[in-house]
Structures are given as C-alpha cells and as structure tokens.
Structure 1
Amino acid sequence: MYSIFLVDDEELELEMIRDFIRWEEMGIYVAGTALNGRDAMEKIEVIQPDIVLTDVQMPIMDGLELAKQVSEQFDWIQFVFLTGHDEFDYVKSALNVGAVGYLLKPLDLSEIVSVIDKVKRRCEEVRMKNRSVRVTKSNILREMIYEQQEDRLANLAESYRTLTRRREPGMYSMTLLHIHRESASQAGVSLDDGSARLQAFLENWLAAKKLEVDFVPTREGELALWLEGMFHVSRFTWDDLLAELEDTLGFTVTAAVNEEERELGRIQELYRETRLMLQEMFYLGAGRVIYAKDVKRQDGHSPVPPFEEEAFAEAVHELNSEQAEQLIREYNLRLAALRIAKQDVCDWAIGVIERLLVQIHEPMTEAHKRAELYQSMYQCETMADIEDKVIQAVAHAVETLKHRFMDKNARLVHQIRTAIDQHFHEPITINSLSDQVYLSPNYLRSIFKEKTGMTIHDYLTRIRLNKAKELLADDTLKVQDIAQRVGYESTSYFISLFLKNQGVTPNEYRKNL
C-alpha cells in the first residue's frame, strides 16, 4: 500500500478529496493534508509520503514551487497536480517539473483511477530501483569491511559516495545485531532465514521513523546497521525493540551500539570496535543492548579461580541438586566478573561434566562422544548457555543416582563401582569387595553383571587401562612405573593386557599421542 499527501487551499474541496474518494480500494492511504504549500512542505518533510496530490494555484506557496522544493530533498516522491480547465499552461509547467500526471476539476472517478494506477506503477519502479541501490550499497560496505588493499578500498568508498549522492564526506555510526543461535534453533529458524526476517522487520520499523539505514550482513546471523550520523535511539527504545523482536520473530537478538562516529574510509576500524563490544555478550548474556561503557577488559590473562570440587561432588552424591546448581551459578558469576577467557570457561565446564559422568559411572570412553561434548560447549555463545549445559548434566546425574538408590541392588553395585574408581591402584579381589557389601562373591558377581553388562574384572581392567592411557601422555614416566601406579605388579602382564584391549603396546600407543 502506498501513502498519499493531499494539498488544496479550498478546505471543503480538500475534505471531499480526502473523505469521498475510495483511496483504500486503490491501495492508497491518506497520510496527511495541508491548505497551502508552506504548511505542506513542513509536514511532507516529516511524513515523507510516496505521492503528493496538490493544487497548482495556492497562496503563500503554489504547487509548482512545492514540487520543486520537495523534489530537491526527496526525489522519489511522485507528484500529481489538480488544475482547472482554464489553467493548462500550469499543467505544462507541472509536467516539466516531473509530475506523473494531472487531474482536472471537477474530479472524475474513472480519471482518478487511471492516473493513480500510473502513479503506483511509477512508485513500484522507484521502489525496485531503490531496492537495487540498497543491495549494491550493502555489498560495497561488506567488501569495504574486509578489503585489505588501500587503492581498492578507496575505489569502493568512491562508489558508495556516488550511490548516496553525497559530495561532502560524512560521518557514520554502526550497530551490530546478533541472532542468538540457540534461541533460533529452538524456534526452528535457520540463521540465514532469521537474518532475512530480522532485516524485513527493521526496514518497516525504521521506515516508520523516517530513518534511512544500510543493512550489511557481516557474518552468519549477524547484521550491521550503517547510518550517516549517530543512530539516536535511547537505551529504553532499544530494550523495547529487542523485546518486540523476540515476541514477533521468536528468537533472541543482541545489539552492540557503537556511539562513536567515523569517516567512511575508517569503516574497518569502526567494525572492529563494534565487534569487540558484541563479544561482551558472552559475559552479559543474549538479548541485551551493549554500549562501549558496558565492556570490561582485564589487564593480562586472569587466572581461573579454584572450584569447590569436593563440595560439588558431595552435593551430587547426596542428591542435593539445588546445592550443586547453586555452586555452579556462583562460580559462573565469579568467572564472568573476572572476564575469564571463553576457552578456559569451556574447559572448566567440560571438566565438570566429565567428572559427573565418572561419578555416576558413565565415563565417555568413545572419542566421538567426547568430540560432541567439546563441540557443543565451544559453540555456546554465552556463559548462560554453558551454565545451562552444566546444570542439565547435574540434573541427569542426580536423577541417575536417585534411580539407582531406589533399587537396592543398583545401590550396592554403585557402591562397588565407586570403591573400584577410588582404589583401582590397590590390590582388589572379589572377596574384599563382597565383604564391603556383605554379599557372597558369587551373588555380587551376578548382580554386578546384571546391572552393568560386564564382569567386575572387566570393569576394573577398563578403569585401570583408562588411567594408564592418561599417564602415558607423560613422557617422563616409564611403562613399568605406570603399570605399578594403576595396580599391576607385573609389567609384562600389564603390557599383554594393554595390547589385548587396545590393539597396540603401551609404547606404540604413546608414539601415536
């Protein structure tokens, strides 16, 4: 639908044109009215309609002067003139200043429909042309962000200035919008589709505010807003906009608003600054408005503080998920306050999850499962995402233990597995284990195999050999020392057992590390 602005110095005639012509049936809505050219000029500057229908002869400022002044600022606005039968000389002048058509008084409905159809076609042509220009400008800006050759960068800047029809160099600001990957995935939206929806929404939102912005897709799920001058939107407005975006589009968007202005040739500097601001999302969380003052950088590399491992393991063992989750959240807040590097945060979280799995006797022995854990953790965009994954692992561990503790035999097997995990390096026999749970050796063998799918001997061997593989990474340790550390007095027996289970000798395994 296109907007039209009506101008006529005869008030009754203006009301008739506004109220009795069926504009909506022609795909037009009336955006405003004025009784003279000067008043119309002030309103048009604010409303910026697609079409202006104006009388030719008016006091203060006539229709021809109005068209001339408007066209100097908004060359895409289409003009249609109202004129009487005895004013054809004015019609010639109107056509000379670029009017699409004219209407003779008194107005004829069929004539109005014909002229408006012509005007709408012209408006669509203008929109298509502007869309093509916007796409070209966007592509030029994207190239400028990544271009390394100075002469090529200067040529791109000149091409951009030509398209903007700006002779004087301007100052520009940038805002980066980032789609939160996890929320888009939950909404069933790809990042490419999400970016397209985000841009379409913002085009309408900005058009209502009469702001002309270039959209530059910089990375997957990331959209830059490039504006001449500062993007004067308050933080409260940004907060409201991000909330509206999430309600409408179904995914979360973060905005890094750079309040610094740069010349066109310094677009790369501006982009680097704004991206650094956006990285603060990792600590602050998604769906936030981030300004330069929100960015906190630590001098040097902050050491990772110790985590309360024993208290955490005890809380899980006692099925106290609230206490375990509280320890995770408090530690996560400490890491965020210290701005600990993302890699260190991910490594800590992966370590917690791996120890949880060991605690419930579900260690990750398959390489692909370990790789999946690492990939999913390093893909997290915020510390909140990492925290959620650790808390999910806590919930799984606690539920697993609850189920086992409700089953008497499962509880006994859990007790035996815990004893093996903690004392694998010591001499362990079936009799010593059965004495701990007051069961006969044969019955203990039976329920252990039933609950785990393996014999006690096989489980002990797996634990010892997994520990041996960790120790083989230390070149200072001899194979015989490693054998004794994992509970084997005979080095030759350890080597033969390792070869049987791993397909290579300990030394061959070490060479492949």
Structure 2
Amino acid sequence: MYSIFLVDDEELELEMMRDYIHWEEMGIYVAGTSTNGRDALEKIEVIQPDIVLTDVQMPMMNGIDLAQKIRERFDWIQLIFLTGHDEFNYVKSALNVGAVGYLLKPLDLSEIESVIEKVKLRCEEVQMKNRSIQMTKSNILKELIYEKDEERIAVLTSSFCKLARCPGSSHYALALFSIDHKDLMDKILEDCMTQLSSFLDRFFLGKKLEATFVTYKEGELGVFMDATQQPGHYAWEDMAQAMRDSLDFTVTVAIGGQAGKLSKVQALYEQTKHILNEYFYMGTGRVIYAEDVRGQFYSEQTPPFEKKEWFEAINQLDFEQTARLLHEYCAKLITLRINKKQICDWAIDLIGELLEQLHEPVPDSSKRAELYHSIYNSLTVQEIEAYILGAAAEAISLLSERFMDKNSKLAHRVRTIIDQTFHQPITINSLSDQVYLSPNYLRSIFKDKTGMTIHDYLTKIRLDKSKELLGDGSLKVQDIAQRVGYESTSYFISLFLKNQGVTPNEYRKNI
C-alpha cells in the first residue's frame, strides 16, 4: 500500500478529499494533510510519502514552488496537481516539474482512479529501481570488505557514491546483526535471515533512515548507514526489544564505535566484528556497544581451578557448592577474557576427569567427538558452564544411586578413608577393622564396585598428591615421600618411576 499526502488551502475540500475518497480501495492510505505549501513541505520532509497531491493556487507557497522543492529533495516522490478549468497554464508548469498527472476540479472519481493507477505504476518502477540500486550498493560494500587493491577500492567507492548521491568524504557507521544459533537447517536459517532483513527494513523505514544491508556470511547481516544519522542507544535498545517480541529466534547486535570513509570499510568491519565476538563473554540476544569492549583486559594465562574442592563437593552430593565453585571460576574466566579455545579445552579436560573420578568408561571416539562438538559450539561461557554443571548434576545423581546400594556405599566409605588418611600408614587390615569386614571380602567388594584394587587406589591417591607437592621447590623428595605415607624414600622413587616413567626429580624439572 502506498502513502499519499494531500495539500489544499480550502479546508472543506481538503477534508472531503481525505474522508470521502475511497483511498484504501485503490491501495492508498492518507499519510497526512496540509492547508499551505510551507507547512506541507515541513511535514513531507518528515513523512516522505510516496505520492503528493497538491492544489496549484495556494497562499505563501503555491503548488508549483512546492513541487520544485520536493523534486530537489525527494525526486522519487510522485506528484499530482489539483487545478481548476481556468488554470491550464499552471498545468503546463506542473508537467514541467515532473508531475505524473493532474486532476480538474470538481473531482471526478473515475478520473481519480485512472490517475492513481498511473501513479502506482510509477511507484512500482521507483521501488524496482531502488531495489536494484540497493542490491548494487550491497554488492559494492561486500567487495570492499575483502578488496586489497587501492585502485579497485577507489573505483568501488566512486560507484557507491554515485548510486547513493553522496560525497566521497561521507563517513559511515556499521551495525552487525548475528543470528545466535546458526547451526540450523539451511532452509530455516534462510527464512530467519529473510525475517531479520524485513524487520530491519521496517525499522529503518520507520525512522526515516537510509541504510544498506549486506549479507557477509550465513546468519550475519551488516547494516551501513550515514554516520550523522546513526540511532542512539535508546533507539537501538527499543529495536532489540522489538526483535525479541516479534522474532522466533534471538539476534546479537554489535554497534561499531567509529565511523569511517568507504575506503576504510574493511577496518570498520573488523572493528565491529571484534565487538560482536564479545557475546562469548557478555551473552547473546543483546546489543553490544564499542564502549563495552573498549579497555577490556585480555589474559592469556588461565587461572587455577580448585578441582579438589569441586570434586569433593560432587562426592558429598552437594550440588549447591558444586554450582557455586563452578560459577565463581567461570566469572573469573569472563573477567580475564580468557580466549574461547583455552576455556573449551579446560572444560573438556574437566569433564574427562569427572568421568575418571566416577570410574566411568573413557568415552569412545564418537562420544568424544560429541563432547567436543557440544563444548566448541557453545556460544557463550554461560553455555559452557551450564554444560559442565549438567555433567556434574548427572555425576551427583549417579553417585546418589550408588550410595543407595550397600556395597557401593561401603566402597565409597573406604575411598573417603583413604582420601583423608593417605599420609598415614594404611593396611588392608586397618581398613577392614574400620568397616567391620574381613580383609578378603573387603578386597572383593572394593574391586567389584570401583574396578580397582585397594592397593592401586591408595597408590594413585598418594602419587597424585606427590605430583602436587613436587611443584614446591622447597620440599625435598624425602620430605614428599613421608608426607604422602611412604617411610622408605627409595621405595617411593621406584614406585613413582614405575607409574610415571620418570623419577620425581625428572618430573619436577618438566613442570
């Protein structure tokens, strides 16, 4: 449906045109009215209708002068003149300023319909031409992103400025719109891009802003606009809320902080892309501004995670403590802006260690690939945190089920005793005395429920602790042996070599 603006200094005639002509049946709606040329021009500059129907003879500014000023600013607006039988000389002037047609007073409905049909054809031609221009501008901007040759950049810039009717010195701002979950079927993603493009088209049209849309890759849409017309924060936030309300998918928006000339589009894109990538830390479905990124500290050193305390919380079936420790650590990762690969590698190793703690089978290649896919395809740190927490919740549930079994509970109790007293002399007899079972029966139950012998489990715990202590250069190997429960240093060294393939001192050098 096209919009029309009506201008006539006779208020009664203006009201009759507005209220008694069946515009909607002709595919037209009245966008506004005015009783003089000056007021009309001010309103038209804001409304920018498709069609202006104006009287010729008016005070202050006649219809011919109004048409000339409209043509200077908005050459795509279609003009129709309203004139009396004795004003035919004005009609000649009207046609000279590009009017599509004229209507004689008193108005005849069939004549109106005939002229409107002609005007609508012109409007369709304008739309087709604009679509062609927009597509060409979009292709130019896409090429400018990747073009390295300075001469080619100059040619592309000149072509764009001619199409956009702007000087080469104009500065542009860029906003990037990214559909959050791009792992959709091609057809669904294509439909989402169409919906997003239509939404943005309506948004910028409603704001009377000129913008060029560029699809750089699947699920990502760039919007270039005149830097002087860039919307403010409130407008962007309103737009984001409207997207959340009207679209079935979420979109993250990055607003570039610096405007640039067309010849510098590549730098503008890279800067805005960097802002967009911040969603990994800040979350998706929101607007991210340059100031959100400016001054951020990016660390390459991953902070230590209190794994022992975390695994203890899991073994004690304490979900709240498990979640709290994990959340606090992930908050550190976000603050330090640790890169995604490091965080993903840490998450995969942690889940692998969790399975080992549960004495679960090592994942086969397909399950391992599924784990990698789930972690590396996570959009945010929060999603990775949720995935790990889900694995921890399953572990707690599994442990809870095990504890319901008498023998599993017994094996867990023996592991707890060893975990807490490994630095003391421990024998199978001392353990059997504490759980009131014969040594042989205890051996059998423990091996059945854990897949390990008591001796192997004790050795594992002691050697794991010794590796932690070897990180302290002030401790001698003899001291470490005693701290983990071995009175004989030579036995400790031979056991360490057998299990680790290196001596304690060699291990220390490699830390």
TM range (shorter): 0.7 to 0.9
Provide the residue aligned with 2:398 in structure 1. 400
Report the AA paired with residue 84 of structure 2.
G
In structure 2, the partner of 1:352 is 350
1:369 is aligned, of 353, 367, 392, to 367
1-side partners of 2:136 and 2:417: how far apart? 68
1:382 is aligned to 380
Q: Note the aligned Cα RMSD (angstroms).
A: 3.6
Q: Report what 1:331 is aligned to.
A: 329
Q: Verify the 8 A CA contact 1:206 1:212 in the aligned structure 2.
A: yes
Q: Displacement, 1:235?
A: 1.9
Query: What residue number does 1:86 align with?
Result: 86
What SS does the corresponding residue of 1:99 show, helix, strand or coil? Answer: coil
Larger deviation, residues 187-196 vs 371-380: 187-196
Question: Counterpart of 1:126 in structure 2: which amino acid?
Answer: V
Indicate how the Cα distance of structure 1 residues 326 and 105 shifts in structure 2: closer, same or farther if over 3 A, else same.
same
Structure 1: runs of 5 or more not aligned: 423-429, 465-479, 488-513
Seen in structure 2, the aligned counterparts of structure 1 residues 363 and 327 have a Cα distance that, compared at 3 Å, is farther
Give the residue type in structure 1 aligned to 2:90.
Y
Partner of 1:140: 140
Paired with 1:357 and 1:27, the residues of 2 have a C-alpha distance of 67
- Cα pair distance change 1:359/1:13, threshold 3 Å: same
Structure 1 contact 80–100 (Cα < 8 Å) conserved: yes
**Of residues 185, 190, 193 in structure 1, which corresponds to 2:191?**
193
Is 2:5 the partner of 1:5? yes
Aligned pairs (5 A) from 1:17-166: 17-166=17-166
The residue number in structure 2 matching 1:497 is none
Preserved contact between residue 3 and residue 51 of structure 1 (Cα < 8 Å): yes
User: Measured at CA, do residues 175 and 230 of structure 1 come closer, stay the same or move farther in structure 2, by a change above 3 Å?
Assistant: farther
Matched positions, count: 461
Aligned to 1:256: 254
Shift of 1:74: 0.9
Please give the secondary structure, in 2, of the residue aligned with 1:304: coil
**Code of the aligned partner of 1:197:** Q
Structure 1 residues 216-365: aligned runs within 5 Å:
216-296=214-294, 301-365=299-363
Could you tell me which residue of structure 2 aligns to residue 484 of structure 1? Answer: 498
Shift of the 28–317 alpha-carbon distance from structure 1 to 2, 3 Å rule, reads: same
CA shift for structure 1 position 371? 2.2
- Does the C-alpha gap of structure 1 residues 28 and 439 become closer, same or farther in structure 2, counting only changes over 3 Å? farther
Cα distance change, pair 362–433 in 1 and its aligned pair in 2 (3 A): farther
Deviations along 1:310-334, one digit per CA (max 9) or x if unpaired, are 1110111111111111111111111
Q: CA deviation at 1:420?
A: 12
SS of the residue 1:225 aligns to: strand
Secondary structure of the 2:258 match is strand
8 Å Cα contact 1:54-1:82 kept in structure 2: yes
Q: Which runs of 4+ in 1 moved over 3 A?
A: 187-192, 296-302, 407-422, 430-449, 480-484
Q: Shift in Å at residue 181 of structure 1? A: 1.7
Deviations 1:85-142 (A, max 9, x none): 2222322322232222221211111221222122112111211111111111111101
Q: Secondary structure at the match of 1:260?
A: coil
- Please state how far the C-alpha of 1:230 moved relative to its aligned partner: 3.6
Q: Is the 8 A contact 1:173 1:262 kept in 2?
A: yes
Residue 169 of structure 1 corresponds to which residue in structure 2?
169
Could you say what secondary structure the match of 2:85 adopts?
coil
TM-superposition CA deviations, 1:307-358 (whole Å, max 9, x none) = 1111110111111111111111111111111121221111221122222222
Distance (Å, rounded) in 2 between the aligned partners of 1:166 and 1:98: 23
1:192 shift after superposition: 3.4
Question: % of aligned pairs identical?
Answer: 53
Under a length normalisation based on structure 2, what TM-score does the superposition of the two structures give? 0.80
Tell me how far apart the structure 1 counterparts of residues 295 and 371 of structure 2 sit (CA, whole Å): 29
**1:249-286 C-alpha deviation (Å, 9 max, x unpaired):** 12222222123221111111111111122222222222
Amino acid of the structure 2 residue aligned with 1:404: R
Partner Cα distance (1:133, 1:443) in 2? 83
Under a length normalisation based on structure 1, what TM-score does the superposition of the two structures give?
0.80
Conserved in 2, the CA contact under 8 Å of 1:139 and 1:216?
yes
Give how far 1:208 is off: 0.8
Contact 1:230 1:259 in 2 (8 A): no
